[in-house]
Amino acid sequence: MAKEFLDYLLSIRQQNVPYAVATVIDVVGSTSAKTGSKALIDANGRVVTGWVGGGCAESSTCLAAQKCMESGETDIIEIDLDDEVLGAGMPCGGHMRVYIEPSLPKPSVWIMGHGAVAEHLCQLADLMGFSVIVNDSMAEREKFPDAAQLITDDIDYSLLIPKAEDFVVIATQHKGDHESISRALASNAQYIALIASRKRSRLVLDYLRDKKFSDSDIKRVMAPCGLDIGARAPAEIALSVISEIVMVRRQASGVRMRDTLHQEAPSPKAIAGSKSGN
């Protein structure tokens, strides 16, 4: 049973789709599932393999698993098997607790281009937990060992098909950047960025206007991209861009953490110190 469960788990992981593992962590009284029982649940709320109990116990677990996959948070649910009205609807005389751990697909960072900045960006994106796709005819596996996928035969960018949760970074050093951005804008990617100088950024944005892209489309392009950390070296530029990507992914403000502390109510000691200073 353990081997079969692991085989299914490895298979669903390779599909890069949401799933959840439910584990019975405590039972009291009469229950069909025992402590340690597991079930693998897919995004549709169906048990792929495993067992955490039958009937409404399974139904309650699957419903909770779907909620966990939506929120991305783990949960521990209580299932009362001794109450037909308020519990799971199957009076077995027991009670169980189930731990639910969701696993969500990694969003991808698409890197269009090669060179030092692209190499550092690939490394940092992988460290941040993204699946990295490098799309460039000059990209070499030795330079991008952390990339999940390397595309080297996409002259017309037809393979640039990011999902809504993905991030696209154009780092082609001016070569074809306007064309790849046009392709990226045809997708629902939540972040489209251009690594370029201010002058080049203006030229690319003007190109998009000439091509009749709407103002809302053009506003989707981060050009120039990255957070202002005074980046100069290739690794610093990559850090600036990946920092912005993480900020967008986590819906953060980019404000210094010290400044967020100053925005909070002062502690009693701080108030006392202020008064004594007066």
How many structural domains does the chain have?
2
- Residue 82 domain flag: yes
Q: Could you give the 3-state DSSP secondary structure of residue 139?
A: coil
The two tokens of residue 36 are: 């340690």
Contact by Cβ (8 Å): 61, 22: yes
- Residue 208 domain flag: yes
- Distance CA(58)–CA(118), nearest Å, equals 47
pLDDT band of 1, cuts 50, 70, 90: low
- Give this prediction's pTM: 0.77
Segment holding 39, helix H or strand E? strand 38-42
Tracing tokens 């897919």 back to the chain, one arrives at 42
Question: By residue range, what is the domain housing residue 23?
Answer: 17-103
- Same domain, yes or no: 128 and 241: yes
- Same domain, yes or no: 212 and 112: yes
Q: β-pairing, 167-170 with 191-194?
A: parallel
- Same domain, yes or no: 124 and 211: yes
pLDDT in tens, 36-58: 999 999 999 999 999 998 887 89
pLDDT in tens, 171-217: 998 888 889 999 999 999 999 999 999 999 999 999 999 999 999 99
